[in-house]
Amino acid sequence: MTIDWTSTSFIWLDWLVLTVGILGVVWAVWRAIVKDKKSQQGEDSSAYLFGKGEPWYVIGMAIFAANIGSEHLVGLAGTGAKSGVGMAHWEMQGWMILILGWLFVPFYQLMINKMGKIITMPDFLKFRYTKATGSWLSIITLVAYILTKVSVTALTGGIFFKYLWGLNFWVGAIGLILVTAVFTVFGGMKGVMTLSTIQTPILVIGSFLVLFLGLAALGGGSIVEGWGSMMDYCNQLNNGYGTTHMFHWEEGDSMYQEYPGFVVFIGACIIGFWYWCTDQHIVQRVLGQVPGEDNAEVMKRARRGTIAAGFFKVLPCFMFLIPGMIAAALAQKGTFALGETDAAFAIMVQQVLPAGVKGIVTIGFICALVASLAAFFNSCATLFTEDFYKPLKKGMSEAHYVFVGRVATVVVVILGFAWLPIMMGMDTLYNYLQGIQSLLAPAMVVVFACGILSKKVTPKAGEWTMIVGFIIGMLRLVTNVITDTGKTAMTGDFWENTTWFWQTNWLVFECWLLVFLLVFIHVVSCYTEAPTKQQIDAITFTSDFKKSIKESWGAFDIIGTLVVIGLCACFYWYFW
């Protein structure tokens, strides 16, 4: 049987490799879960939801895998093909993950010591502010997951499989969700961690193969010439302003309207701070620990995990966004047709990878889709079980709590599909995703940052800031749906007098919302009851705890941190 190594479609060898690989992954995950359950001697809801003291490199890969989803394989590559590096601010945030390890982990660990159990983010806010504040965070987070994770992954997964295999969109979308739901229900956090460890190296290597082979195809066999050709082509786009710049300063530049000047960096940082430092599905990766473990060891492992994740986070621009730019250049050259920019990455996999390698790389991509979505499902199960169900149904068996978490996963899937038709009628995929996050992030950033950095902010101020920020964000979302994100004008005196609210650029709106909430939380603090001594103690390091923090870091942590920051700075310098 002959093999056409240059075939641009899936041949029998690719399907064979894919089948064997998937079976191998299933076996590895099942073996890890069984081994973990035996060591626990039964089901443990804490282990199911959080995991138990994974090594730092596993934590790093799990954070990276939880972040990388189908919105990257489809949306980020599609954005690269359409508008170049304009959206790279949201991906070049390895330095932001370091804030989680260096600043927030010690505070979270202090809270774990105070409460005597692994915490969720709502637990933190309930302790620092009020019970209602934590409950509101749970509600907001669950709403965010439904609006930005389940529905987005279903959409992009369907698009990816449609262009890679020619699969019907709905078959691909529903199939991905169902497979992931089953995996999450039976795998728990241990399954997510194991899958993350498997898929990360495959995904990284496979994506860089697409990058280098794509550049070689564009440059007639030379990667260097291919890079030059890509830059030359992209510099001619956007009416001559080019799409190789992360900052757009001139109003005549069409991309200035979407990403105005330095505001784009500030807006990306607001979203990044919320996502990397306070979002449950990311923070959950660093909270697992072995019972009785020393504080210094816990913080060392968590910090080094975030440093490893910081290194990995530098890669997506090269793994997905730049291959999208290459796809656009190849399409212009006539190598293949690119009718829809969101098809860029799937077409690149088809066109530039040799037979057999397509199957291997696709294994990594499928694992990435499942691991990322499973991480969100698991976090939803955690939030619902720990923050709503357990307080209402105390004293139930661990198996019962695990079952409730699984039911919560199924409900989230159903709600995500219900939102999908509405989302499909809104803005482009990646703009939609960041636009939703920009409405939710400011309140989270203000409440968490003030909660740990200020001892004067009062419990009621935190609660009302969370509520007011969420209400304003949802009102803006409603106007986005009605006006297609400000593109369609609304008539009438009321609407014409409130264009500052519904028509303002989404990044500018986000920044002003942050400023308003910062002022609001401090004003309310002046007129409400001060925090209790117990609440102040929860954010006050004792001498012993300070000693543990000092013992948790060394030269490795400092050097690794500086290298991550340096890599991010170099990217900004090159694509300024």
Give the per-residue pLDDT at 185: 67
Q: Residue 10 and residue 395: Cα distance in Å, rounded? A: 53
Half-sphere exposure of 567 (CA within 13 A, CB side): 21
**For 374-430, how does the pLDDT look when each residue is reduced to its tens digit (9 = 90+)?**
777 777 777 788 777 888 888 788 778 878 877 887 787 788 778 777 777 666 666
Centre a 10 Å sphere on the Cβ of residue 57 and count the other Cβ atoms it contains.
15
Give buried/exposed letters for 24-44 (b at 16+ CB in 10 A, else e): ebeeebeebbeebbeeeeebb
Residue 478's domain spans which residues?
12-574
pLDDT-wise least confident of 46-55, 94-103, 297-306, 543-552? 46-55
Judge contact between 74 and 429, C-beta under 8 A.
yes
pLDDT reading at 167 higher than 90: no
Apex CA 570: angle with CA 565 and CA 572, to 5°?
95
pLDDT reading at 37 higher than 70: no
pLDDT-wise least confident of 313-327, 352-366, 515-529? 352-366
Q: For residue 48, name the pLDDT band (cuts at 50, 70, 90).
A: very low
Answer whether residue 514 is part of any domain: yes
Answer whether residue 547 is part of any domain: yes
**143 closest CA partner among 463, 543, 419:** 419
- For the segment 40-54, the average pLDDT, to the nearest whole number, is 54
Looking at this protein, which amino acid is placed at residue 436?
A: I
**For 562-571, how does the pLDDT look when each residue is reduced to its tens digit (9 = 90+)?**
999 999 999 9
Give the per-residue pLDDT at 477: 85
Answer whether residue 89 is part of any domain: yes
> 3-state SS string over 154-181?
HHHHHHHHHHHHCCCHHHHHHHHHHHHH
Q: Residue 375 and residue 364: Cα distance in Å, rounded? A: 16
Give the per-residue pLDDT at 97: 93
Give the per-residue pLDDT at 49: 47
Give the per-residue pLDDT at 515: 96
Apex CA 62: angle with CA 60 and CA 68, to 5°?
105
Give the per-residue pLDDT at 102: 92
Q: Residue 154 and residue 433: Cα distance in Å, rounded? A: 13
Judge contact between 25 and 17, C-beta under 8 A.
no
Answer whether residue 4 is part of any domain: no
Token pair for residue 189?
A: 């956090």
- For the segment 326-351, the average pLDDT, to the nearest whole number, is 86
Proportion of the chain above pLDDT 70, given as a percent: 89
Q: Which of the two residues, 187 and 214, has the higher pLDDT score?
A: 214
Answer whether residue 3 is part of any domain: no
Give the per-residue pLDDT at 291: 55
Mention every residue, 6+ apart, whose C-beta is less than 8 A from residue 127.
111, 114, 115, 535, 538
pLDDT reading at 484 higher than 80: no
| Residue 484 Rama label (left phi>0; alpha psi -120 to 50; beta) | left
Mention every residue, 6+ apart, whose C-beta is less than 8 A from residue 359.
10, 13, 14, 15, 16, 17, 18, 21
Proportion of the chain above pLDDT 90, given as a percent: 27
Query: What's the distance, CA 107 to chain centroid?
Result: 22
Residue with tokens 């109003």: 251
Give the per-residue pLDDT at 542: 82
Averaged pLDDT of the chain: 83
84-88, 233-237, 259-263, 510-514: which is most confident: 510-514
Mention every residue, 6+ apart, whose C-beta is less than 8 A from residue 416.
145, 146, 149, 150, 151, 154, 177
22-31, 65-74, 178-187: which is most confident: 22-31
Answer whether residue 345 is part of any domain: yes
Q: For residue 444, name the pLDDT band (cuts at 50, 70, 90).
A: very high
Cα Rg for the chain, rounded, in angstroms? Answer: 24
pLDDT reading at 362 higher than 50: yes
Give the per-residue pLDDT at 415: 82
- For the segment 541-557, the average pLDDT, to the nearest whole number, is 88
Give the per-residue pLDDT at 231: 94
Centre a 10 Å sphere on the Cβ of residue 224 and count the other Cβ atoms it contains.
10
Mention every residue, 6+ apart, whose C-beta is less than 8 A from residue 376.
66, 145, 149, 150, 153, 281, 412
Q: Residue 434 and residue 268: Cα distance in Å, rounded? A: 9
pLDDT reading at 236 higher than 50: yes
Give buried/exposed letters for 403-434 (b at 16+ CB in 10 A, else e): bbbbebbeebbebbbebbeebeebbbbbbbbb
Q: For residue 290, name the pLDDT band (cuts at 50, 70, 90).
A: low
Judge contact between 60 and 312, C-beta under 8 A.
yes
Answer whether residue 7 is part of any domain: no
pLDDT-wise least confident of 1-10, 336-345, 357-366? 1-10
- For the segment 344-362, the average pLDDT, to the nearest whole number, is 86
| Residue 436 Rama label (left phi>0; alpha psi -120 to 50; beta) | alpha
Q: Residue 503 and residue 184: Cα distance in Å, rounded? A: 40
Looking at this protein, which amino acid is placed at residue 329?
A: A
Give the per-residue pLDDT at 426: 64
pLDDT reading at 490 higher than 80: no
Looking at this protein, which amino acid is placed at residue 253?
A: D
- For the segment 269-282, the average pLDDT, to the nearest whole number, is 88
pLDDT reading at 130 higher than 90: yes
Answer whether residue 6 is part of any domain: no
pLDDT reading at 558 higher than 50: yes
Number of domains, the chain: 1
Residue with tokens 């003030």: 450
283: domain CATH number is 1.20.1730.10
Give the per-residue pLDDT at 513: 96
pLDDT reading at 45 higher than 60: no
Centre a 10 Å sphere on the Cβ of residue 23 and count the other Cβ atoms it contains.
10
- For the segment 276-305, the average pLDDT, to the nearest whole number, is 80
Q: Residue 208 and residue 323: Cα distance in Å, rounded? A: 9
